[in-house]
A and B are shown apart, each in its own frame.
Chain A
Amino acid sequence: MLAALKKHKWSYVGMAACLLLLVLLPTEYLLAEKISLLTAVGVYSIVAVGLCLLMGYTGQVALGQAAFFGLGAYISAVLSTTHNVNPWLAMLIAAVATGAFAYVVGFPILRLRGNYLAMATLGLGIIMWVLFRNLSQYTGGPDGITGVPDLSIGGFVFDTDLRKYSLIWAFCIVILLISQNVMRSRAGRALRAIHGSEGAAESVGVNVTQFKVKIFVLSAVYASVAGSLYAHQTNAIGPGSFDFLASVLILTMAVVGGLASVWGAVFGAAAILILKIEWIPEMSKMSFFRPLFMSGAAYLISYGLLLMVVMIFLPNGLFVSLRDAFDSWRRRRTQRGVAG
């Protein structure tokens, strides 16, 4: 235990710093102005970390994560609103159903080698969005579903911004810890082995198909849980949050943060949401950029540019690159200390 603590010292320091930051962040200014942004970072971090496990660690490209995010949100919203199901139970049903759905979709595709998953999930994302929008009798069509109840435990209702923020970040932290534990385990090594070489992974006894399917299902369940939390946080959902652009948004978060890094997902989610919610609307006020803001083109262009720049210059992602730079700075410093 102590040895493990020592070995992963910096990641525990990082974790503690994150937690401290999370507790200190909701100051009065932030409470008034930015709490919904901070809460959204928590929601999207959960989806993005699922994609990191799938893409960064296991090497399976998926382009339709918004489909599972949307399934979680819609199942939760429909069950808890029109059928009066307990929201927690609805969240559980959504997670199980989305996981089962991902299994049914993933199993035949993941048996094949090659990036068929990317194509299939791309199609899935588009189909699900059309279904969310057009199955009006269940989903409310383009208007979506309103009046989704708040979550509560006993008599304690998560109805204020600060309470929702706390609840979502509690979920997020637990999911990040679980993900980190899994990646440092036997299963995590098997997944990374698949990324390294499927043939070699098989040769050391890894059931490649089974592990690929498991991590795909896990990433879908993460997205579903995030979707349920999102539905109960905003109390209203619509198909616009789960379109192709949303899948690209999630992909960009995972890539910018650093695909093979659990904590990078938070970093990526924060960076991209600040860009989306703060910077792009600000830019739209400048006349130079105005033509770009027809029909959301600015968002697509920004994400596309970011993806390209990060992939070319920082293929490990911003977070991982910064961490590596910090590591090598620390190493140089200790070496100089020894020499002096």
Chain B
Amino acid sequence: MSASILETKALTKAFGGLTAVDKIDLSVEAGKITSVIGPNGAGKTTLFNLIAGVYAPTSGEILFQGNPLGHAPPHKRAALGIARTFQNVLLFDNMTALENVMTGQHPRSRYGFFEAAFRLPKSHREEEAISLAAKRYLTLVGLGMYADRNPLSLPLGQQKLLTIARALATEPKLLLLDEPGAGLNALEKQSLSELIRRIREMGVTIVLVEHDMDLVMGIAEWVIVLDSGQKIAEGTASQVQKDKKVIAAYLGEEEAIE
């Protein structure tokens, strides 16, 4: 692993007596698609929330582009270039699809209340750039024609694509996708895989948490396996599939990895 964009060092998060993430060391290579997998309760989403800054680690640290993130809140991490989507979508239902994506441009624009109140030239300039960028990202995920729709009027598959567009609009270096495939049909998963590859080609590093093994094995260039808060294996998809500890962790859980 050469240039790593994200590293965690002995990262630990305990909720009372439960250690959800237990001394995890990992390194995410820049420009690659990395997948974090593991059975339910393995600590995948907690790991995401630690990286995104929703939780403060109990101990250990997270380095982004070599700099420790410390206790930086989520909005600062977004500005640094860490974007995320949520398992439960969390779209803004009080605005249109396009406005949702425009909100994503928040850290890449500056004008505030005053410029807006008096419609100063700066607000026009920035607003035009924001709306152009948002339309571009909306088109990228294939929702260009739904710009004026309320996000909740879209089917779940498109809602998930919309959250990806919103996250991309923050112009991230690292994109965290929390179960992007959950609830999608086979066709939608197919186009999701293609979209994720296209995003990688734009130079964005992707880390995804995913339950769907077909999706993971199809696109992940590096797979990290968690179980009970610990990292039990990592490698390429085919390496991980043969790992005895991984098979054991998954046994009794759904089907073993094919």
Interface set of A (CB-CB < 8 Å, partner B): 178, 181-182, 184-190, 192-193, 195-197, 199-208, 214, 218, 260
Contacts and interface: CB of A to CB of B under 8 A. Distances in A.
A54 to B, nearest CB: 14
Given A193-B92, A199-B86, A203-B78, A181 B166 contact: no
A182 B169 CA distance: 21
A291 to B, nearest CB: 43
A206 B86 contact: no
Contact of B167 (A181, A184, A195, A203): A203
Given A195-B94, A196-B92, A186 B106 contact: yes
A201 B103 CA distance: 8
Interface residues of B, number: 40
15 contacts: A184-B116, A185-B115, A186-B109, A186-B127, A189-B99, A192-B99, A199-B90, A200-B166, A202-B74, A202-B75, A203-B75, A204-B103, A204-B166, A206-B103, A208-B75
Q: Which 4 A-B pairs have the closest CB atoms?
A: A205-B107, A196-B92, A185-B116, A205-B78
A200 B95 CA distance: 14
A127 B118 CA distance: 35
B111 A196 contact: no
Contacts, number: 104
- Binding site secondary structure of chain A: helix
Given A185-B111, A187-B112, A206 B106 contact: yes
A201 B99 CA distance: 13
B83 interface: yes
B244 interface: no
A237 B29 CA distance: 68
A202 to B, nearest CB: 4
Contacts of A178: 117-118
B177 interface: no
Interface of B: 52, 54, 73-75, 78-79, 83-84, 86, 90-95, 99, 102-107, 109, 111-113, 115-119, 123, 126-127, 130, 166-167, 169-170
Nearest to A215: B113
Contact of A186 (B73, B90, B92, B126): B126
Given A193-B103, A200-B90, 11 more contacts: A181-B116, A185-B115, A185-B116, A186-B112, A186-B116, A189-B102, A202-B78, A203-B75, A204-B103, A204-B106, A206-B106
A196 B96 CA distance: 12
A181 B122 CA distance: 13
B243 to A, nearest CB: 33
Contacts of A260: 94
Nearest to B116: A185
Nearest to B119: A181
B113 A202 contact: no
B116 A187 contact: yes
Nearest to B49: A199
